[in-house]
């Protein structure tokens, strides 16, 4: 979507939805069928599990999963 930034060496898997004004750091993996809501910042070296819904910012070096992602 609009105004998103995806860092170097990051992967967004198939069917993942990245909504407006999202920032994804370097070396991240966004799992298949996950959703990242608008205005969320994801730090470096973060893994978002498949099917997760990320509603809040995620700090560096974290693994999040679930609905909402924790």
69 is a domain residue = no
11 is a domain residue = yes
Angstrom distance (rounded) from CA 33 to CA 59: 21
Residue-range definition of the domain harbouring residue 56:
1-62
Q: What is the pLDDT of residues 15-24, one digit of tens each?
A: 999 999 999 9
70 is a domain residue = no
Of the pLDDT bands very low, low, confident and very high (cuts 50, 70, 90), residue 48 is: very high
Angstrom distance (rounded) from CA 46 to CA 69: 12
| pTM assigned to the model | 0.94
41 is a domain residue = yes
The tally of domains found in the chain comes to: 1
51 is a domain residue = yes
Task: Calculate the CA dihedral of residues 40, 42, 46, 48 and round it to 10 degrees.
Answer: 20
Contact 31, 16 (CB under 8 A): yes
CATH code, domain carrying 8: 2.160.10.10
What's the pLDDT score for residue 65?
Answer: 98
Residue 2 falls in the annotated catalytic set? yes
pLDDT at residue 1 greater than cutoff 90 = no
44 is a domain residue = yes
- The arithmetic mean of pLDDT across residues 22-40, rounded, is 98
List 1, 2, 4, 14, catalytic entry = 2
The rounded mean pLDDT for the chain is 97
């Amino acid at each position: 979507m609009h105004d998103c930034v995806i860092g170097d060496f990051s992967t967004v898997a198939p069917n993942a939805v990245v909504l407006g004004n999202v920032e994804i750091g370097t070396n991240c993996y966004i799992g298949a069928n996950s959703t990242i809501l608008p205005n969320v910042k994801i730090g470096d070296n973060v893994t978002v599990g498949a099917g997760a819904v990320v509603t809040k910012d995620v700090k560096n070096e974290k693994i999040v999963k679930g609905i909402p992602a924790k």
